């Protein structure tokens, strides 16, 4: 029997994975943090004395850092207890108190029809991708390059182009044997009783495939190329596959980014497709976007299934603030213990693309670290107008705040919000009395409430300073520092090896193209390099590649990289290295680079845990995390002392270490 994805998701959501796993393991008391739904135990799949088996309820996954096993509720039962998939589903459904679905011929027929429609959507996606690479797609390609998107990013998100034609897609699908009923059912053409001949819905637009939570194309968003188009962005209409209010753009990829061992700890909701893609290219893979409309309750619930406190990122202008306040009203009735929202407000006139394009992800990470809690957004909205200089106005504010928080369904959360309102009002009104500050001033009184609006009711103190000190020490490391004037030696090795040996791209393209450089200059160089590779095709050579890169203004950077490499005597990255040596050295450098990035993410997570444990005064947890952080710092030190390039250069080629004659460019 085949189960629908909705049924499997529902029983997984109702039963914490720790309840399934906990019947076969004993949780380690020292490492387990029940409040964070974070569990550790000795792995049941292999013998070990110290716990390396990790189980996280909010992600619904387990992973052993010792033997590498991972999976969900059903995988655990099938692998450990030898159950069939049907038996595993039955067991979890029983724990959830949900009856197993009965065979439904009509439902199975609809599922087959949905599968057929998904096949058509896949064909349309490939058509749009192919059109982007034709002469008709030149303007679309130029636009994407101007937005700073690399060839690898364009391929990852499967961006395409719908030609300026009323029937190009329709005729293509018809030539593949797709009946018009299916083309219409997918929403790919405009049709109806008042339209004699159907025509393509998307014309002269950059196409963004929209995926389901199972990575199937279910709809499209199209960005108009013409300045006078009636709609700048156009989405697919509602179909059997696509219900706009239930879908988030990039959700499946963002969820995977959170499920890895070094995954992000929350989802970030931004406004549009390009915001998501720009953040992804900057290394922030956990961003999603609603589909051209205000955030819906179903979309919010979808985020909450993935993370307890998603961050909503809005523009800092009036429209962005209004959108944030609408999200406040949407969320308040549904918040629960451990389930809420935070709000990151962008600087006025800026979008995520602006923040990450020049300086990488650091400015956006800083913005997220300052995200405001939901309670503070409630307070901001009701007090931003000011003018509370009379008893009547103050009574009106108090009544309004009580009315707002009374919609919270959870009794305990509602009680704490009511107390938070009382505390803020007391501090605010005290500050607005004569002799206590500027009368009726929101700036004077409001920010004192709860130790200041910026801290969201949390007292400032040693947490921030200790985190800053840790970051400053690690920031001096060549492994984890951000983009500086000169690239790190390891990044220079990775980039220059490919410039001097572009044949490596033939075998290692996916991994090489996915490198996310921290140095801003290398980010631009890499975007130009991947574009040049795509344009040159099989005729690509070192000389042609360098010529194209210099034409794009990267000559000075290339010469600087070459000098940096030669000063360090890392000849394996220069043009004189034999292909076998260059490939082996590159693989070693790439492995070290990946490990360095993983250490950086691990360090940031540990710093966050120290801050949280300090806020809750959890001394034992602080000690554990500091110990783990110390291990990470030792590993960073060990890596910095480790040679990044192969010792004994020339083992394969017979070349001898030493400087090359001539210049590498």
The string of pLDDT tens digits covering residues 118-137 is 899 999 999 999 999 999 99
- Residue 290 has, within 13 A of its CA and on its CB side, a CA count of 19
pLDDT band of 524, cuts 50, 70, 90: confident
- The DSSP annotation for 583-617 comes to HHHHHHHHHHHHHHHHHHHHHHHHHHHHHHHHHTT
Q: What is the rounded (10 degree) CA torsion for 276, 280, 285, 286?
A: -20
Both structure tokens of 87: 């038996």
Residue 142 has pLDDT above 80, yes or no: yes
For residue 108, the model assigns a pLDDT of 59
Identify the CA nearest to 78 among candidates 45, 54, 100.
Answer: 45
pLDDT digits (tens, 9 = 90+) for 328-380: 999 999 999 889 999 998 887 788 888 888 778 888 999 999 999 999 999 99
**Cβ atoms 183, 175 nearer than 8 A:** no
Q: At residue 463, does pLDDT exceed 80?
A: no
- For residue 251, which of 217, 225, 284, 286 has the smallest C-alpha distance? 286
What average pLDDT does this structure show over 562-575? 84
Structure token pair of residue 628: 């783990």
Dihedrals phi, psi of 40, to nearest 5 degrees: -130, 145
> CA 425, CA 413: separation in Å to the nearest integer?
18
- The whole-number pLDDT of residue 9 equals 85
Which segment, 229-233, 275-279, 319-323, 654-658, is predicted with the most confidence on average?
275-279
Token pair for residue 52?
A: 């390396």
Vertex 255 angle, CA 249 and 259, to 5°: 165
523-532, 615-624, 636-645: least confident range: 636-645
Higher pLDDT pick, 261 / 471: 261
Residue 662 has pLDDT above 80, yes or no: no
Grouping H, G, I as helix, E, B as strand and the rest as coil, residue 161 is strand
Whole-number average pLDDT of the chain: 81
Q: For 236-246, what is the mean pLDDT? A: 90
- pTM here? 0.56
321 touches 377 (CB < 8 A): no
Residue given tokens 């038996």 in the structure block:
87
pLDDT classification of 508: cutoffs 50, 70, 90: low
**pLDDT score for 485:** 58
Which pLDDT value is given to residue 27?
93
Q: Tell me what pLDDT residue 475 has.
A: 38
Q: Up-side HSE of residue 34: CA atoms within 13 Å toward CB?
A: 5
Task: Give the contacts of 363 (CB within 8 A, at least 6 positions apart).
Answer: 355, 356
Looking at the predicted structure, is the pLDDT value of residue 447 above 90? no
Summarised one tens digit per residue, pLDDT across range 542-553 is 888 898 888 888
- Contact present, 239 and 114 (Cβ < 8 Å): no
- Residue range 624-639: average pLDDT? 73
Checking if the pLDDT of 219 tops 50, the result is yes
Q: 270 pLDDT band (50/70/90 cuts)? A: very high
Mean pLDDT over 54-72 rounds to: 88
Which SS3 state, helix, strand or coil, does residue 201 take? coil
Q: Residue 63: beta bridge partners? A: 54, 70
């Amino acid at each position: 029997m085949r189960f629908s994805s909705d049924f499997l998701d529902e029983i997984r959501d109702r039963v914490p994975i720790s309840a399934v796993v906990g019947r076969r393991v004993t949780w380690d008391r020292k490492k387990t943090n029940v409040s964070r739904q974070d569990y550790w135990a000795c792995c049941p799949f292999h013998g070990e004395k110290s716990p390396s088996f990790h189980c996280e309820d909010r992600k619904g996954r387990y992973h052993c850092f010792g033997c590498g096993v991972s999976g969900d509720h059903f995988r655990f039962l099938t692998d450990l207890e030898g159950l069939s998939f049907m038996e595993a589903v039955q067991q979890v459904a029983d724990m959830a108190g949900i009856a197993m679905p009965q065979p439904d011929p009509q439902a199975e027929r609809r599922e087959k029809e949905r599968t057929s429609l998904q096949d058509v959507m896949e064909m349309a996606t490939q058509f749009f991708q192919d059109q982007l690479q034709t002469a008709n797609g030149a303007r679309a390609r130029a636009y994407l390059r101007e937005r700073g998107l690399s060839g690898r990013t364009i391929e990852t998100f499967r961006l395409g182009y719908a030609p300026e034609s009323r029937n190009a897609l329709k005729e293509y699908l018809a030539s593949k044997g797709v009946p018009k009923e299916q083309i219409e059912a997918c929403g790919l053409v405009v049709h109806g009783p008042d339209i004699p001949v159907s025509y393509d819905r998307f014309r002269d637009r950059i196409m963004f495939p929209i995926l389901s939570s199972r990575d199937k194309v279910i709809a499209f968003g199209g960005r108009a190329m013409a300045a006078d188009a009636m709609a700048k962005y156009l989405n697919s209409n509602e179909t059997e596959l696509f219900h706009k209010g239930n879908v988030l753009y990039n959700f499946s990829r963002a969820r995977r980014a959170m499920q890895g061992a070094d995954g992000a700890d929350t989802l970030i909701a931004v406004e549009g497709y390009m915001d998501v893609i720009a953040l992804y290219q900057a290394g922030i893979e956990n961003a999603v976007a609603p589909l051209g409309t205000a955030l819906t309750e179903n979309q919010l619930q979808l985020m909450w299934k993935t993370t307890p406190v998603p961050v909503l990122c809005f523009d800092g202008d009036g429209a962005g603030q209004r959108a944030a306040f609408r999200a406040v009203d949407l969320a308040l009735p549904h918040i629960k213990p451990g389930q809420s929202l935070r709000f990151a407000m962008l600087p006025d006139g800026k979008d995520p693309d602006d923040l990450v394009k020049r300086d990488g992800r650091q400015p956006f990470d800083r913005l997220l670290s300052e995200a405001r809690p939901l309670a503070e957004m409630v307070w901001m909205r009701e007090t931003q107008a000011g003018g509370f200089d009379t008893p009547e106005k103050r009574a009106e504010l108090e009544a309004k705040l009580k009315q707002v928080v009374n919609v919270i369904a959870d009794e305990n959360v509602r009680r704490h919000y009511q107390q938070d309102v009382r505390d803020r009002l007391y501090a605010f009104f005290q500050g607005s009395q004569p002799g206590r500050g500027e009368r009726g001033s929101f700036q004077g009184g409001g920010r004192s409430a709860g130790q200041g609006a910026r801290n969201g009711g949390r007292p400032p103190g040693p947490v921030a300073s200790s985190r800053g000190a840790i970051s400053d020490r690690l920031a001096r490391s060549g492994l984890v520092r951000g983009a500086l004037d000169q690239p790190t030696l390891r990044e220079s090795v990775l980039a220059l090896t490919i410039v001097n040996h572009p044949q490596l791209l033939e075998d290692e393209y996916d991994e090489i193209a996915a490198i996310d450089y921290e140095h801003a200059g290398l980010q631009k160089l890499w975007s130009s390099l991947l574009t040049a590779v795509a344009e040159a095709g099989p005729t690509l050579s070192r000389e042609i590649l360098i010529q194209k890169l210099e034409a794009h203004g990267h000559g000075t950077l290339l010469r600087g990289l070459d000098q940096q490499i030669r000063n360090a005597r890392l000849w394996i990255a220069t043009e004189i290295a034999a292909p076998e040596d260059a490939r082996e050295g590159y693989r070693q450098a790439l492995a070290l680079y990946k490990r360095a990035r993983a250490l950086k993410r691990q360090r940031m997570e540990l710093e966050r845990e120290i801050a949280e444990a300090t806020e809750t005064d959890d001394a034992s947890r602080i000690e554990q995390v500091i110990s783990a952080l110390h291990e990470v710092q030792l590993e960073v030190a060990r890596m910095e002392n480790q040679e990044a390039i192969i010792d004994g250069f020339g083992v394969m080629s017979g070349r001898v270490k030493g400087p090359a004659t001539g210049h590498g460019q």
